[in-house]
Amino acid sequence: MISARGSHPLRPLWSPLIPGVQEAVVICLNKQTREAADQSLCVSSRRPPQLLQDCEWSSCSATCGVGLMTRTVACTHRPSRDSNRTEVLRDEDCQNPKPSPVQACNRFDCPPMWDTPDWGQCSQSCGGGVQRRQILCKQRLADGSILELPDTFSGECRDSTRYCEKVRQLELCPLPQFKSRCCHSCRNT
């Protein structure tokens, strides 16, 4: 149970209802193919520690552009000081404000992508017609808006952070959050 600063243990309070456990799975990857490799081929001293933690928030709904994480927040009460048991009460039983059940996440620009809508209607009902569609280069920005890039956009870009050379050296370019911020440094990876 999470308690508010200075709150009495017998007073109702807002707390997240923790739905599960989050675990980070660590595997050995081949640097060239990015495929799983035998653990004996990786340097064991560089292996990250095991991560296992309670999940208060859901996974982010988007990998870039801006996503949402959700959680369940309830008014809870511990019946006595020595009790480990927590009762869920009505929202009206807790003082306001209720903590937000929604939070923004992954607020950074996505890499530009081709938008390929469905083909238009054929110009002829038989005997060889033409179908057309307009293909656009679009980019979802960190504020959630979508930027339509000009037809002349050739994929050239500028890195938006000074750490991009380090990102490339650490081979983090395949991750969307780094690929969009370091598109120039990561262009050939």
Of 154, 17, 179, the residue nearest 98 (C-alpha): 17
**Residue 152 has what pLDDT?**
54
- Answer whether residue 68 shows pLDDT above 90: yes
Looking only at the bridges linking them, the beta strands covering 13-16 and 87-89 are unpaired
Token pair belonging to 185: 């440094």
- Which of the two residues, 145 and 178, has the higher pLDDT score? 145
- Which positions ≥6 away from 84 have C-beta within 8 Å? none
**Residue 160 has what pLDDT?**
77
- Which of the two residues, 67 and 84, has the higher pLDDT score? 67
What percentage of the chain reaches a pLDDT higher than 70? Answer: 77
What does each C-alpha distance from 45 to 22, 40, 49 come to in angstroms? 24, 12, 10
Q: CA 183, CA 119: separation in Å to the nearest integer?
A: 30
**Residue 69 has what pLDDT?**
92
The average pLDDT across 153-166 equals 72
